[in-house]
Structure 1
Amino acid sequence: MFDLFVSAFVTLFVVIDPPGCAPIFAGLTSNAPPASARAMAIKACFIAACILFVFALFGEALLAALHIELNSFRIAGGIMLFLIALDMVFEKRTQRREERVEKVKATPEIEDVSVFPMAMPMLAGPGSIATIMLLMSQAQGTESTLVILAALSAVLVLSLIALIAAIPLMKLLGHSVEAVITRLLGVLLAALAAQYVIDGLREAMLG
């Protein structure tokens, strides 16, 4: 069970990417009072948690209702995660996030950034939704399910800490260290994504 927790935690941590979300949140809330920034961080993580837990618990039923086989979702999810990994390695993901920040900051009527873009799509985006559904599809029994949900909870707590400590965290890490971490995590995610595709293809052929 410990191995399952570590595997789920690492996968979700790489996809949700709390260190990568921290500088984005810092940029979006640069003019907000500290109390307002903390409130937005808490709200963003709470909304993201609700979305991810709903898909974790009821995502498989949704696939069944849409007549989508789990192996098809594994393959599609793996390809999606691989594309995210490529973006991370070549820093396209960070560039798009920064462009999104500029668009939001250019519309002064938008003050609360907790729902968009922080909760959706940065924390609970297509990649993290696909990942939690893939992990839950591999859970065998109640204990495995609880372990994966615990890993998700741990990543969301770290995301909350990263958002609250966004400005000091950016000063500590710096952009160069963040870029190195992002690339390393991207390589790891690419390997995990390839494994999802291989598992999906194997199960489909055996089935």
Structure 2
Amino acid sequence: MEFKPLITLLAIVNPPAIIPFFIHYTQGFSTLQRRRTIGVASFTAFCVIAACALLGIRILEFFGISLASFQVGGGMLLLTSALNMLNAKPAEAKPATNDLAEGAEKAAMGYSIAVVPLTIPLLTGPATMSTVVIYAERAHTVLQLATLVGYGVVIGLVTALSFALANPIARILGQTGINVLTRLMGLILAALAVEVMADGLGKLFPILGRTVGG
């Protein structure tokens, strides 16, 4: 399998862009709590990607949704995420509603915040899930499917590394550097989103494919 799925996933998940959120949500955590949070968040991100790769197509079949429709919808979602990133916002970010008191309360809960909100929806939200399902359908052999699941391992490792180096990275890049990185990944993601939508529209409306080909 080509490396395009990995590049797409890295652009969507974009762990460095989540570093400010990681720092915010782990304020007051001990070193052990931070390590546990990193481990749980990384493993959960892998689990989400692996589950979507192995079960995503079956879920679509259960609900009677065609892959072409899912590609168009997923592509639109990717494009929305890309536009958010071009505005220097994380691809899966949602408005934060927690105040400092709630942050302290989460610190007492240990690493439970590693799953929500750090992994879902900040790291692996709807855009990530839809992307994995689309690429899983294109995997025609067990090896290709295993490679896609393996990319989930890579995403988990990149997430762990980014969070482990959160403070040094934040100091080196600064908010401006993180914003620039987010915009760059957003531009790449926008191009990939258009490609996914074009493929889906070509399947839904074959005349479009013939027009382009002509």
Give TM-score scaled by structure 2 length.
0.87
Of structures 1 and 2, the larger Rg is shown by: 2
1:151 is matched with: 151
Q: Which of residues 21, 24, 39 in structure 1 aligns to 2:21?
A: 24
The runs of at least 4 consecutive aligned structure 1 residues that moved more than 4 Å come to none
Q: Which of residues 60, 71, 77 in structure 1 aligns to 2:68?
A: 71
Residues 23 and 167, structure 1, Cα contact 8 Å, conserved in 2: no
1:109 is matched with: 105
Which secondary structure state, in structure 1, belongs to the residue aligned with residue 205 of structure 2? helix
> How far did 1:85 drift?
0.3
- Aligned ranges 1:170-185 → 2 under 5 Å: 170-185=170-185
- Aligned ranges 1:1-207 → 2 under 5 Å: 1=1, 4=2, 6-93=3-90, 99-100=95-96, 103=98, 105-107=100-102, 108-111=104-107, 112-206=112-206
Q: How many residues align?
A: 202
Q: Which of structures 1 and 2 has the larger relative contact order (alpha carbons within 8 angstroms, sep 6+)?
A: 1
Paired with 1:50 and 1:167, the residues of 2 have a C-alpha distance of: 26
Structure 1: segments with no counterpart, 5+ residues: none
Paired with 1:135 and 1:106, the residues of 2 have a C-alpha distance of: 41
> How far did 1:84 drift?
0.3
The CA RMSD over aligned residues, in Å, is 2.0
Residues 18 and 90, structure 2, Cα contact 8 Å, conserved in 1: no
Which secondary structure state, in structure 2, belongs to the residue aligned with residue 103 of structure 1? coil
> How far did 1:143 drift?
2.1
Q: Structure 1 residues 104 and 134, CA, compared in 2 at 3 Å: closer, same or farther?
A: farther
- Which shifted more, 124-133 or 48-57? 48-57
Q: Deviations over 1:82-125 (max 9, x none)?
A: 0000011012448x55x52x616441332342121112111221
Give TM-score scaled by structure 1 length.
0.90
